[in-house]
Amino acid sequence: MALPLRATQNTDLDFTPPPQDLGAMAEVLEGKHGSFAAGIADFFALYHGQRGDAGRAWAWTGIAELVRSRERDRLEGI
């Protein structure tokens, strides 16, 4: 039985996470990196943007915004 050939590039597939997953990604990033979470998300947004992956850059930008808004909400609640 012949093995199927693996695609070396998946240019037609979209690996962008759905919007409902961005909140979970922001929570994990905050849990692991604390106050550095927004900066790390910005780094990944720039990294993917420079490599031409607009979907992932958009996702990481959204995560950075979520982290900052959650941090702002926490500080206003004090």
Q: Over the stretch 19-44, which tens digit does the pLDDT of each residue have?
A: 789 999 999 999 999 999 999 999 99
Q: pLDDT grade, residue 18 (50/70/90)? A: confident
What is the domain range of residue 63? 38-78
Of 14, 33, 50, nearest in space to 64 by CA:
33
Positive or negative: CA dihedral 49, 54, 56, 61: positive
- Give the total number of structural domains in the chain: 1
Are the C-beta atoms of 56 and 46 separated by less than 8 Å? no
The answer to the question of residue 76 being in a domain is yes
Asked, for residue 60, whether it belongs to a domain, the answer is yes
74 within some domain:
yes
Compute the residue count for the chain: 78
Q: Is residue 61 assigned to a domain?
A: yes
What is the distance between the alpha carbons of residues 35 and 21, in angstroms, rounded to a whole number?
21
Kindly state whether residue 15 falls inside one of the protein's structural domains. Answer: no
pTM over 0.75: yes
Q: Report which of 69, 42, 70, 71 is spatially closest to residue 58, judged by C-alpha positions.
A: 42
